Each structure stands twice: as C-alpha cells, then as structure tokens.
Amino acid sequence: MKRKRLVVFAAINLLLLFAAIFCMVKTCKNNERINSVSSEFRYAETDGKVTLGLTSGKAVEMRFGSNAVCVYDCYLYDNSDVAEILLFVRRYGQENGVTFARKNTELLGEFTLHKAAYKAGIRRRESENLDWDYGKDSRPLVNALSKTIGYAGL
C-alpha cells in the first residue's frame, strides 16, 4: 500500500514537472513573439479613438481612457496580432504619459481570457471588448486568471 502511494506521488510530480516545463517554453515563445514585432506602427487618431493597422492587414480600434485602454472586438485577433497590439499599446501609452503596472504575460493572459470567454458565450457583451487596466485589474477573479493564463503561456 505504501509503495503504491509512492508510485502515484512520483507520477503526479512527473506530470507537474512536464507541465511546468511546457508552460515555461510557451511563456518564452510568447515573449519572443512580442520582442520580434517591428517598432514601426501605422495608426490614426480620430474622435478619441486610435486605429492601428496590423501587418496582417486587419485594423484594430481602441480608446485610451484615464484608467484603461479598450481594445474593441478583441475576439477577432489571433496570437500574432495580439503581440503587435500589446507592443503598440505600451509604446503609444509611453508617448502619452501612460504606463502599465502589469507585465506582458499578464496582459496577454487577460487577452486570452477575453477571447475564450467570448467564444464560449460567457458574458459576450463584456468579453467582446478588452479593457487593459493600467494598474492591477480591479476584478480579483479576472486578475488571478489573467496571471495564471499568462504565466502558463497560453
């Protein structure tokens, strides 16, 4: 009986080790993807909205507010677009005196969370547009899930 528990415990530890390695590799790939984005952006500002032209040919509308930036229709963009959007938001924010307190992985996690919630039909009206808070997200569950998803590299 004791030997069985030891084998089960060892198997669980091995699975956790493989999961940790997988998450670390995914997070590194996400960071590489963000760092590989070109620093040249094509964007236009009209009526308080910023429209960013992505290298994929899509256009992203967003609005920079006093506490957050809203990315409209975030479910439309894939992972390569997200890296470009994130880097633009950070650079544009810096040029306009806005800094984010959260890391890139947390912001990517929140983007992924919004896309997943929208596709699953969970609170579609709220999950359709992404609000990246400049500081810590005021919603504890969203904050925790964003961190978890981001650090997992998903």
Q: Which residues pair with 70 in a beta bridge?
A: 63, 131
Residue 24 has pLDDT above 80, yes or no: no
Mean pLDDT value across the chain: 79
Q: Rounded CA gap, 136 and 59, in Å? A: 27
Lowest mean pLDDT among 23-32, 87-96, 101-110: 23-32
Give tens-digit pLDDT for 118-129. 888 877 787 788
Lowest mean pLDDT among 37-41, 56-60, 74-78: 37-41
Residue 152 has pLDDT above 70, yes or no: no
Chain-centre distance for alpha carbon 96: 21
Give tens-digit pLDDT for 63-94. 988 888 888 988 888 877 888 888 888 888 88
What is the pLDDT, as a whole number, of residue 55?
82
Length of the chain as a residue count: 154
Q: Rounded CA gap, 45 and 33, in Å? A: 26
What is the pLDDT, as a whole number, of residue 25?
75
Chain-centre distance for alpha carbon 34: 11
* Annotated domain spans of the chain: 2-152
If one counts every other C-beta atom within 10 angstroms of the C-beta of residue 54, the result is 17
State the DSSP H helix or E strand holding residue 70, giving kind and residue range, or none if neither.
Answer: strand 68-71
| Residue 47 Ramachandran class (φ > 0 left, ψ -120 to 50 alpha, else beta) | left
What amino acid is encoded at 61 in this protein? E
**152 HSE (CA, 13 A, CB side):** 13
pTM: 0.70
